[in-house]
Amino acid sequence: MKDLVFATHNAHKLEELRAILKDFNILGLNDINCHEEIVEDADTLDGNAKIKANFVTDNFHIDCFADDTGLEVDALDGAPGVYSARYAGEGCSYQDNVNKLLEALKGIENRKARFRTVIALNLNGKQYLFEGKVEGVITKEQHGEKGFGYDPIFLPDGFDQTFAEMPMEVKNKISHRGRATQKLIEFLMSL
Ligand code: IMP
């Protein structure tokens, strides 16, 4: 079975992929003793996904994929985008980010936004990119307790529940990360 590293320390993401990609031996960063912080300093999602995947391939000489996600708000010219994790500053909480975004959109009627995930895969000396996105709007108030990040204020188009109100299985089917991961899986299964 072929080893493939998923450049993440997130045990939940690893477990999810291991259950689906049964033909690959999916390893996390901890499994290859990569404990360094990989500096994600690109100004695009593609750039950061590539940095993470290339770091592993260059230093550990093993095939790898990595993901990066951002929330792009039209009225804010695509912000917070690649800076979504630290929108309210270094070390900020998810709630700080939500508060800052609601404040930035106060009085603004155009609340269109999308989550976008890019996955970079380094396999057998080649690099492949997969993208998933979900369109929606930023609500005026928070709704729901599930999920994480901006979930309580993201209402996907065609639904009447925010990501934080819907069951995880429903979110995973339509989400940015779910869709990008599905493309990666279809590609790997077709090999
Ligand atoms: P990452 O690239 O997956 O680490 O995501 C960067 C940031 O985007 C996270 O810190 C969250 O603030 C936000 N984010 C990513 N995915 C989601 C999601 O599914 N729901 C809500 N926020 C998310």
Summarised one tens digit per residue, pLDDT across range 67-125 is: 999 999 999 999 999 999 999 999 999 999 999 999 999 999 999 999 999 999 999 99
Domains of the chain listed by start with CATH number: 2-189 (3.90.950.10)
Residues 6+ apart with CB under 8 A from 62: 3, 4, 5, 27, 32, 56
The average pLDDT across 165-172 equals 92
pLDDT for 46 beyond 80: yes
Q: Can you list the alpha helix ranges (DSSP code H) found in 63-167?
A: 94-104
Phi-psi region of 15 (alpha: psi -120 to 50; beta: other; left: phi over 0): alpha
- Quick check: 172 and 7 in contact, CB under 8 A? no
Atom of ligand 1 nearest to the CA of 94: 12
Residues having CB within 6 Å of any atom of ligand 1: 68-69, 71, 84-85, 97, 147-151, 163, 175, 177
User: In which residue are the tokens 């690959």 written?
Assistant: 24
